[in-house]
Structure 1
Amino acid sequence: MKKVSILGKEQKSEHIWNVDEERKEHSNPTTFSELLGLNELFSLKVWKASVAELVGTAVLVFAIDTIVISSYETKTNVPHLIMAILISITVAILLLASYPVSGGHINPAITFSAALVGIVTLSRAVIYILAQCVGAVLGALALKAMVNSTIEETFSLGGCTLTVISPGPNGPIIVGIGAAQGLWLEILCTFVVLWASVWMAFDHSQAQALGSVIVLSIVGIVVGLLVFVSATVTGAKGYTWAGMNPARCFGEALVRGGHHWYGHWIFWVGPTIACVAFYLYTKIIPRQHCHTVGSNMISSTL
């Protein structure tokens, strides 16, 4: 029995995004302050971790928007495919780089979902989301400082836009998609990211079996696939792809302004609805998973 117990302990591991051992102390909060995790508002450790979220999101915005611009500037018949592949690699690398410090969210949708399912406190989530928004603004400013005005106007800094205003023979032409279509794309694409990849990190059994490198790489691959699908299925030149990251969209809108604010609420409301839907899904599915053999069988023996 001791041998089995030791083996069980060795096989135990944290959730990929469970970034603080101290969270175990608050597994059964008894006060409103503990429920919200208000003590983390004054935790230097949490604020230091948020710096990784800030830097990670800044690099994400700069890298992804550069990829968008360069993909469309490249003389190829499949810019969407090139863009999706490069974004997959970029997202995976940035998640792997930031998760040891902060949990590697770099996306308010992931942070909000983590708070809903109880992996991080609401206070930590607020700090992270603020850091992500600041980082997104810095990333957009860095890109704006590097590109010329023609590129900026043509590609809208690679930002989250439902429409693009382009010059025409008889005046400006607005091309893109409608608000309803954009909202549904944000809801569905964000939910798929959470359901098909992020849940592997939230679920103890899958995170333990696969490991952080595989899980976070899968997140990047799923994001890249949804970028390709959302950009291709609409067939609209004025629409780049589903944002799935409110902070990224906010940074570009604040720096670029203008038509970036048109329908900007969609890039917040859509992911929020997806997060709530994902939370409800986690409450509906069975708590015990029969697909994992090793750890569950050992723990049930103890």
Structure 2
Amino acid sequence: MADNASRVVEDEENGYGGRKVQPFASTPRPDMDKTEGKKHHPTTLSRILGFEDLSSLHVWRASLAEALGTASLVFAMDTIVISSYETETKTPNLIMSALIAITVTILLNATFPISGGHINPVITLSAAFTGLVSLSRAAIYILAQCLGGILGALALKAVVNSTIEKTFSLGGCTLSIVAPGPHGPIVIGLGTAQALWLEIICTFVFLFSSIWVAFDKRQAKPLGRVIVCSIIGLVVGLLVFISTTVTATRGYAGVGMNPARCFGPAIIRGGHLWNGHWVFWVGPIIASIAFAVYTKIVPSAEVHA
């Protein structure tokens, strides 16, 4: 399936001044072989909306991989977060970041041949904003990813005891927590504005330094799927390490960069996980828009063929 997509893309042009882009974030369609050799126009309204994807069995089957992949990601990442701190190691952030990098790499490789390997609304939104997938397909994928986030949080809730669940909030995304103070309970954590900037900056760096490598055929094809997925996993791990180390603030769970991962525990655990939850959506969306703008304005002459 992946080979079919790679073959078809040779004749497919994107909207960046004629530069060709590897649709790492898209999936092959049954009618691709019939349209091979024909030029597509991703700027047309029908192409952008892609209403035919809403009734495509192929797209809905691909979304199943997105749901299961995201569920696995949430379960694995939150387990890693909890276990890293529970082991009382001197370098929990380093161990956690390394394990997350490995986990993301494995899951991207597992889901790529089926759905394109998104398992993150940020990647799906960026693919839609840059014209690699239709808005309809993006909506289906994001819905599946959010469902996967809930399933992953449910699976984690089923295997951890109530004390661990309360202490770590199912590994969810938090800006602050309520802790005992000298004169009663106090709220500790990171300010909303600072957390929002961290989401925007880290998510943009994630897209700029790894996802663009996957989207660009000239880079993705020579490197190969495994290396590209490894680069993405490595960048995610580095950004998790940076966000949890530089801030070093108790109560702040670190940068999310994946709204579905934050959404699942918030639905299942609730409570303070909803405090500032919008930050983990608004920040990545702003970063995705900024990334799409960058891909449109970067001079093609500056890109080496």
Return the TM-score normalized by structure 2.
0.88
Q: Contact conserved, 1:156 with 1:256, CA < 8 A, in 2?
A: yes
- Who is 2:115 aligned against? 102
SS in 1 for 2:187: strand
- Who is 1:165 aligned against? 178
C-alpha displacement at 1:57, in angstroms? Answer: 0.3
C-alpha displacement at 1:131, in angstroms? Answer: 0.2
Amino acid in the other structure paired with 2:228: V
- Who is 1:126 aligned against? 139
- Who is 1:53 aligned against? 66
Residues 1:149 and 1:169: Cα distance change in structure 2 (over 3 Å): farther
Name which of 27, 33, 45 aligns with 2:40.
27
Distance, in Å, in 2 between the alignment partners of 1:111 and 1:184 is 21
SS in 2 for 1:173: strand
Equivalent positions of 1:41-190 (< 5 A) are 41-168=54-181, 170-190=183-203
SS in 2 for 1:172: strand
Return the TM-score normalized by structure 1.
0.89
Distance, in Å, in 1 between the alignment partners of 2:277 and 2:259 is 9
Residues 1:31 and 1:271: Cα distance change in structure 2 (over 3 Å): closer
Equivalent positions of 1:9-24 (< 5 A) are 12=10, 14-21=22-29, 22=31
Name which of 200, 216, 219 aligns with 1:203.
216
Amino acid in the other structure paired with 1:40: D
Larger Rg: 1
- Who is 1:235 aligned against? 248
C-alpha displacement at 1:168, in angstroms? Answer: 4.6
Q: Which runs of 5 or more residues in structure 2 are unaligned?
A: 1-6, 12-21
Structure 1 stretch 26-35 or stretch 50-59: which is displaced more? 26-35
Deviations 1:204-233 (A, max 9, x none): 101112111111110000000000000011
Q: Which runs of 5 or more residues in structure 1 are unaligned?
A: 1-8, 293-302
What's the C-alpha RMSD, in Å, of the aligned pairs? Answer: 2.1
Distance, in Å, in 2 between the alignment partners of 1:159 and 1:26 is 44
Count residues in correspondence.
284
Equivalent positions of 1:235-274 (< 5 A) are 235-274=248-287
Residues 1:19 and 1:255: Cα distance change in structure 2 (over 3 Å): same
